[in-house]
Amino acid sequence: MNLQDQILQVCSPNIKKILIQIPQEEFEEIEEIRIRIHQPLLIKNAKGEFFLTNQGESTIKGKEGYFPIPEDISATLELMSDYSLYAFEEEIRNGYLTLPGGHRVGLTGKVIIEKGQVKTIRYINALNVRISHEKIGCADKIIPHLICENSIYHTLIVSPPGCGKTTLLRDLVRQISNGVFSNNQGLTVGIVDERSEIGGAYQGVPQKNIGLRSDLLDGCPKIEGMMMLLRSMAPQVIAVDEIGHEKDIYAIEQVLNAGCKIICTVHGNDLDDLRKKPTLSRLLENKTFERIVFLSHRNGPGTIEEIVNGMNLERMKLC
């Protein structure tokens, strides 16, 4: 099933009738579909944002767009949950649903609080369908800089939101797991996928290619997940997405003390930006990461701006 069909099968009849008008090659470039009650249907791709009319034509004028009604949201949610929304209560409590194919749907609405904790979200008023793109080979350019004999350097991938750091991390994990080293052997990789974005798991099964020797903890908090992997799965590499909290440092230190390699991503723009964040500044000072990869959206998602040697913070020459 192609990408367009994956999305169309979980959309309300009204939304489906509009989205089906988009040529398949253009649909492949979509990054987000935002469905808000009584607001124009909005599409985001690498070139920017535009609205869709009732006929499926693009326009920059919001008033010309199709305005979803409450029934569009409710019907779409029923299709996304296979008419068993209660079975997704845990994901909904965290503000999203995960679809087959690894696509993630953000939700907003009335948040129900119980004993100081989020219990669920009701009266959902908006959906953000984040299309999961798998870019096989997108890590090819950086792999030579990250290999250290028959292993890899501790690596940090840095970018602003929406610039492809998770996509790059996934392909990096795939290649390391399959084997790109001089001995033609892959490494055992443990992945802590707190938001189901790396493996794109659906009901626990990765929908994305994460490699032959990768083990995935889906929906697991990073700190607990890293400790669980160390105790039970004997990973040679641990990969996690979006570090930044003080407690993350402790878990990373435990990974390093166990002799395991670490690959992480984090939100940021450049070295100066990282230095302004206490947790990340400490990691830089401790020279925790031997390689730091910076991405941007300059030439589209995943643009590799530079690779920095974490030992001396000098820029490395790209191959």
Cα dihedral sign for 263, 266, 269, 274?
negative
Task: Tell whether 157 and 304 lie within a shared domain.
Answer: yes
pLDDT for 318 beyond 80:
no
pLDDT, tens digit, 9 for 90 and up, residues 49-64: 999 999 999 999 999 9
Give the structural domain span for 189: 143-316
Question: pLDDT over 90 for what percent of the chain?
Answer: 74
Reported as a single tens digit per residue, the pLDDT across 185-219 is 899 999 999 888 899 887 788 989 999 999 999 98
Q: What is the pLDDT of residue 237?
A: 97
Q: Over 244-256, what HEC string results?
A: CCHHHHHHHHHHH
Q: In terms of domains, do 173 and 125 share one?
A: no
pLDDT band for position 319 (cuts 50, 70, 90): low
Q: Which of 130, 162, 182 is the last residue of a domain?
A: 130
Instruction: Based on the fold, state whether residues 119 and 147 are members of the same structural domain.
Output: no
* β-bridge pairing 155-159 and 261-267: parallel
Instruction: Kindly report the CATH number assigned to the domain that includes residue 51.
Output: 3.30.450
- Confidence bin at 94 (pLDDT 50/70/90): confident
Q: Which of 81, 101, 130 is the last residue of a domain?
A: 130
**Which of the four pLDDT bands, split at 50, 70 and 90, describes residue 246?**
confident
**What CATH number should be reported for the domain holding residue 205?**
3.40.50.300
The pair of structure tokens assigned to 22 is: 């988009």
Token pair 């669980």 is found at 228
Single out the residue in 101, 130, 159 at which a domain terminates. Answer: 130
